[in-house]
Amino acid sequence: MRVMHNNIFKSSRDVFIDTVDVKEYVQLDRVSTIYTSLKKSVKKPLKMILLYGKPGTGKSMFLAKLYEDISSQHPVYLYQTPILDDGEFYKVLVKDIYGVNYDGKLNFTQFMKVVELHSHKVSEEQNNIPIVLLDEAQLYSKEQMEKIRLLADSRKLKFVITLHKTEKEDIIAKEHFQTRIWESIELVNASKSEIKIYIQKKLIKNNLFDTANMFQGKNIDLIYKITSGNYRDTNKLLYTLFDIYDWYATNDPSKISSTQLSNKIVEMAALHTGLIHD
């Protein structure tokens, strides 16, 4: 049986590198509906949007895509890595949003004075209020989150924040932002049919039709059983899967098929990544 050149396995492997790259965004019907709702929400006279879900459900990708989609028409600022020092957080915001290089320490009160000084340039009626996108907000302290709430209450800045769906997220949502969040959007793992579409679309987008066609129903069943439809775990599994295929293509090509995926190799990849155990 013909075995594909191993370069196709390397290319297929690299499709599943777990990075936040908007070019790799895969449009699924349910996910697209949620994303459309998010885009509509940021146009409303809101204070804050909470985007939450378990790790690996696509929150960071949503923020990155939102930034790319609206940054040409609206002042929007994306912070993928939390800035945990209060003073540094304020200094970064005033520099990015208002173009002010602040020397020395900057506390919350001083920051608010800078915001007030420059906010006359911003018209709420023109829907031109700066939007701040904060990823991984569960890493911010309770005190920082309270100050972010106060910033949102000022209506000088809008916030879209992502949080892992944990007990801490529930506390933040219920105790601090319950009456202030215009919209709360939850992202969940993919269904089995969505995982199949996700995998095949990612490969087809990169012109990897041969490997996309290798996935059969039994393979998707096993992948879904291992990952529960989590995008991050699926990427991890598929990256390792094609890495193993690449090794076989180079060292022992007679052991792999060019037309059908082996569930045995899927299980090997799951063991390698720690998604299943002996």
Lowest-pLDDT range of 39-53, 171-185, 249-263: 171-185
For residue 29, what pLDDT band results from cuts at 50, 70 and 90?
confident
Structure tokens at 110: 């001083």
What percent of the chain shows pLDDT beyond 90? Answer: 50
- Confidence (pLDDT) at 191: 95
* Phi then psi dihedrals of residue 133, to 5 deg: -105, 115
pLDDT value, residue 121? 59
Query: How confident is the model at residue 1, as a pLDDT?
Result: 42
Pick from 50, 64, 53, 55: which is nearest to 30 by CA? 53
pLDDT digit string (tens) for 183-228?
A: 788 899 999 999 999 999 999 999 999 999 999 999 999 999 999 9
Which class is 29-187 in CATH?
alpha beta
The residue written with tokens 């990544």 in the block is: 273
Helices 217-227 and 192-205, axial angle in degrees (round to 10)? 110
Higher confidence at residue 114 or residue 261? 261
List the structure tokens of 124: 């709420």
What are the residue boundaries of the structural domains of the chain, listed by start? 6-19+190-273, 29-187
The secondary structure of 194-237 as a DSSP string is HHHHHHHHHHHHTT-HHHHTT--HHHHHHHHHHHTT-HHHHHHH
